Every structure is written in structure tokens, then in C-alpha cells.
Amino acid sequence: MIEITATSPLHHFPGGIHPPEQKALANQTPIQRLPLAPMLYIPLRQHSGPAGELCVQVGDHVLKGQALTQPGVDNGLPVHASTSGTIVAIQDHPLNHPSGFSGPTAYLQPDGAEQWIERQPIDDLSRLSHREILMHLQLMGIAGLGGAGFPTARKVAGAQGIDLLIINGVECEPYIVADDRLMREHAAEIVRGSQLLQTITAAKQVVIAVEDNKPEAIAAFETVLAADANVTNTMILRVVPTRYPSGGEKQLIQVLTGLQVPADQLPADIGILVQNVGTAFAVARAIDHGEPLIERVVTITGQALSKPGTAWIPLGTPIDHILSVSGFQPANKQRVIIGGPMMGYTIASLQVPVIKTTNCILAPSAKELAPPEHEMACIRCGACEQVCPASLLPQQLQWLAKAKDYDGLKQHHLADCIECGACAYVCPSEIPLVQYYRQAKAEIREQLIEQQKSEIARQRFEARQARLEREKEERLEKHRKAAEARKAAQAARADSGEEDPVKAALARVKAKKAAQQAAEPASESTDAPADDKKAQVAAAVARAKARKAEREAALAQADDQQKADDDKKAQVAAAVARAKARKAERDAAAQQEKQEDGESS
């Protein structure tokens, strides 16, 4: 059982750095509302996990807050129209992603009316089942607003009955002040969202954590917590010392509780859930007001801007619109970074939109954030190891990554790297260490996916082989059974003295031949008695043959099944002979009659 009081000691995570904060650039002014962009580009996937299924068409008029995608078979997170307007296209558009790839995006042309869809707030959480509440959060498109944008409903679903809910207001990365401004201006709603999350997860305790470089935010929370009668003693505020990256999920847990999240496990496995203050705010809006996640606070900062600050940006607003209304004065080879200077990425096109995870747009001048210099050789100074918050060996990882020794990287726990960039920040050789780790991680992930795919292919191949084999055997079995049935039927006929239709037909053919042969000489010669005699002899021979064959057949029948074929032949022969004999007799008789007729006439 984890218990934190207002006075319980704080702990340290290993390493960490103190980069220049640069927060004063943007946190002096209230959160603004910028003029609406002429076109919003709303990517269908703005978070980690699968995208939802499209549920609007080109030409549809949509209202503010209307869902553009629905969870669908993959249970993806929906995205919503950030304002009312018309869907003019659904096509590939540059994504807000370090790769610079394009992806499916809905082009929303605002009509300026800001007409809301009918919102459905939840008045009383206790009336809904746990499942229904999570479904509501899912349908409202709530994703974690602090980091990678993991769907909140899924994160919460995996953390039931936890000991500790941490509301993360640390915001440790330089330049970024979106959470800082949100806490100053909307502390009450963040507290409300925290209470809702506490109710949903049945967490025993809630700790709101804020770094000590945000005194205004701390004061705002203290006022709200003191004034709010609903706040019980299970919710406290803790101020943590400023050190990058104390806002990392695992680092914050370690600072507050002294516990480390084990490798390959989630905080929920040790009874802790961490949610960003922005997420808590979004949860409060979604439940109390029925508002989906369609806008977020974005830090707009950097010395290339004459009007830095923070703003409520409707999701899908293109970056160049935001920059142009913020006094963007691009220098030569100007970089625009999404996120902060430590973990952010440079974008390749200014047309990329703001998405759920965009907390900062940084347009630095060349002086304040020098572009990366040429990488030099590692001098093995060990500074990176001193600052790694995950107690890894960055230098060793770098060698292994360069050598593409993926097993070695796994042994050195590359997966525990949070890509905070502290090692690269202190590296005197300016080695882009995190870049190496990201490539190696991507390669390891790719290998894992390929391995899983090949495993599936193997299973499918083997299943197919087994099926073909089974079908072949079934076919053979069917043939064998049919043959047996035929044999049994023949045997039954032979026993009862009945004639096999095939044999009968054969016999008829033979008999016809015999008759023709017999008839020819009869019609030619008038030597009837001789003919008659011949026919009689033939009949007698045939009878004898038939008897013999029958005897043989009887013998063969007594034999075992191996001689079944002989048996069959013998039967056929016997039957043929019988038929011949009968026919010959009949023919002979007919001939005699004819002759007698001829003689009498």
C-alpha cells in the first residue's frame, strides 16, 4: 500500500539535468484564442493505437464536436470536427510526425458559425456502469495529452482499484508552458477532472504533482484545494524540485514514492496511474459538459516569433496559420520544432496540423538553439551515464547501436530508455545519441513484427499442408469405401444368385456375338441337323465351362479377401459362361424350330 502525505519525504531519480528553462518567453500572457484557420486538416489518427473508422463523407456538413470517425472493429479512438463546417476532401496530407509522411486526413472548411452538436454531459457518474463511463471517454476521443497520446479509456481500464493516482503537472521540458498556463487558469476544472478520474479508477489517493518553478500554478491549486468542499483528504498537492526529466511517468513515480516501475511493466502493475493535467481537464470537459477533445492548449514560442504565448488551438489547425498570426519572422534555414528542444522533432512542412499530442510549437532563432553540429567521435567521458534517468549506459548503447548488435542492446535494456535526450544534451562530442537509440528501437520492433508475421505464416502454411493431407486421405478413404461397397454388393448378388447388371450387359453383348456367329452358318447352309448338333455341343461345352467356373468361384469365395479380384473374375467368367450357355441353348432351340418350320412348309 502506497501512502503519500504532504510531508512524506521526496525521493530522487538517478541522473537528470538542468537545461535553461526558457519558460518566461511564453508563460506571461493568458491563453489566447487565435482567429480560425481557413482550412482545418484533421488527421484520422492523432494518437497511439489504431485509427477509428470514417463515418462522414466528402461534402457532408458537420457540426462542432461531431465525430468524424467511430471506434469500429479495431476500437480506435474517434476524432471530431473541431468547428462546424464542410468536409471538402478526405485525402493524404502531411502528418504531424517526425517521418514527414502523409496520411489520411479530413479537410474541414469552417463555416464560422461554431455551431455545436447536441452535447450529452453525464450528470451522475454513479448511474452509469464502469463500462459505459469508459465508453463515453473513448467516444469523446480523450487521449493522454502529456506524451504519446495513449487512449485514456484504455489506460484507465487497466488501472482499477489502484493505490495512487498521480496528476502530472510537472512539465519539465524547456520552453513548454501549456500545462503551466492551464493550471494557472483552470485549476478548479483540473481538480474536478482528477476527482472524476479518482471515482472511475477507485484510486485510494490522488497526488497532484507540480514542479517548484511554477509558483503561480501551485498557488492556484492551493486556493482551489482549500476552497473546494468536495476535496477530501485523499487529494493532496506535492511540489517537486525542478530537474529534467522529472515529468517522465516513471521518474515522477520514483520522485513521489521511491518506487521504480519494473522493466516491461506498467505503473498500474505497482498500483499507480499517472495522468497529465491536460488530460484531467479534458476528462472534466467530456463528462461535465459532454465536449469531445477538439482543442488543446499549445505553447507557441521561440525567438523567431514576435508574439509568443499560449493558445487554445482547434485540432487540425495548420502550423503555418498559427505561426503567421504569432509574428513569425523566419530566418535563413529556419527550423520549426514540434514539442520541446529535448524530445521534439523538426517538421518538414508547415502545412502539418496540430493534433492531440502537440503541446508546443517552437520556432527558435539560430542563436538560441544552434542547429546540430557535426558529430564527433566518442571520447568515453562518461557524462551521459551520469545524467541518464533510467540508469542505463548510453555510451555502451551507442556502440551497440552502431554495431547493430540488437541482442546486446536488449541485454543493456534499451527498451527502458525514455528518449529524454539528457545524454545527447551533455555529450561534448555532440553525438545524437537518442537518434541512434530510436533507430535501434525501431529495428528491434520491426524484427519482432517480422518474427510474429513469419510465425503466423508458418502456422498458416502448416495448417494448409495439414488440410491438403487430410483432404487427400478423405478422398482415398471415400474411394476405398466405395470400392468395398461395390464388392459387398457383388458378393451379395453372387450369394443370392442374382445377376450383376454389368455382367448381364457383358453377357448380352457376348451372347449377341455368339448368336450372330451361330446364325450366319445356319442361314447359309441347309444342313440343319449338323448345325443343330454343333449348337448343342457348344451349349454343352458352355454348360460344362459354367459349372467349372461356378465351382472355382465358390472356392475363391471361400478364400480370403486378397483373392477378391480373382473371385470377381471367376464370377464374371461364370456368369458370362452361364449366359452364353443359356443363349446358345436358346439359339439352338430357335434354329431347330426354324428348320422344323422350314421342313413342314
Partner 1 sequence: MSWLLGILALAVLALVAGLILGFAAIRFRVESDPIVEQIDNLLPQTQCGQCGYPGCRPYAEAIANGDEINKCPPGGQATIDKLADLLGREAKPLDAAHGEEDVKKVAVIREDECIGCTKCIQACPVDAILGAARQMHTVIADECTGCDLCVEPCPVDCIDMVAVAVKPERWKWNLDQIPIQDITASSEHSNSEDKQVQTQ
The binding site for [4Fe-4S] cluster consists of 378, 381, 384, 388, 417, 420, 423, 427
Asked if residue 175 binds partner 1 (CB under 8 A), the reply is no
Cα–chain center distance at 482? 49
Pairing of strands 337-338, 360-362: antiparallel
Least separation in angstroms between residue 371's CB and partner 1 is: 12
Q: How far apart are CA 437 and CA 449, in angstroms?
A: 18
Work out the angle at residue 178's Cα, subtended by the Cα atoms of residues 253 and 31, and round it to the nearest 5 degrees: 150
Between helices 564-600 and 528-558, what is the axis angle to 10°? 160
Binding of partner 1 at residue 97 (CB under 8 A)?
yes
Among 14, 19, 72, 100, binds partner 1 (CB under 8 A): 100
Q: Rule CB under 8 A: is residue 457 a binding residue for partner 1?
A: yes
Question: Is 95 or 139 the residue whose CB approaches partner 1 more closely?
Answer: 95
State the Cα–Cα distance between residues 166 and 187, nearest whole angstrom: 15
Instruction: Compute the distance between CA of residue 408 and CA of residue 400 in angstroms, rounded to an integer.
Output: 6
Q: Could you say which of 8, 29, 234, 454 contacts partner 1 (CB under 8 A)?
A: 454
Is 505 near partner 1 (CB under 8 A)? no
CA gap 216, 5 in Å, rounded: 22
According to CB under 8 A, which one of 271, 330, 408, 521 is a site residue for partner 1?
330
- Please select the residue that binds partner 1; options are 12, 413, 438, 586, rule is CB under 8 A: 438
Closest separation in Å from C-beta 432 to partner 1: 9
101 binds partner 1 (CB under 8 A): yes
Taking the least distance from each CB to partner 1, the nearer of 192 and 335 is: 335
Q: Is the dihedral of CA 211, 213, 216, 219 positive or negative?
A: positive
The span from the CA of 214 to the CA of 27, in Å, is: 10
Q: Show the beta-strand stretches assigned E in 46-84.
A: 53-54, 61-62, 69-70
Stretch that binds partner 1, among 214-222, 324-332, 534-542, 590-598 (CB under 8 A): 324-332
Q: Minimum distance between the CB of residue 439 and partner 1, rounded to whole angstroms?
A: 5
Residue from 109, 334, 429, 592 binding partner 1 (CB under 8 A): 334
Write out the DSSP string of 513-566. HHHHHHHHHHHH---HHHHHHHHHHHHHHHHHHHHHHHHHHHHHHHS-GGGHHH
For the record, the C-alpha cell of 123 comes out as 450528470
Find the binder of partner 1 among 57, 59, 333, 495 (CB under 8 A). Answer: 333
| By CB under 8 A, residue 445 contacts partner 1 | yes
Give the nearer residue to partner 1 in terms of CB position, either 365 or 595. 365
The vertex-392 CA angle with 389 and 397, nearest 5°, equals 130
Q: Would you say 447 or 517 has its CB closer to partner 1? A: 447
C-alpha cell at 355: 493534433
Residue 471 in the binding site for partner 1 (CB under 8 A): no
Name which of 145 and 337 has its Cβ closer to partner 1.
337
Q: Which residues bind partner 1 (CB under 8 A)?
A: 48, 95, 97-101, 103, 320, 323-324, 328, 330-336, 347-351, 435, 438-439, 442-443, 445-446, 449-450, 453-458, 460-465
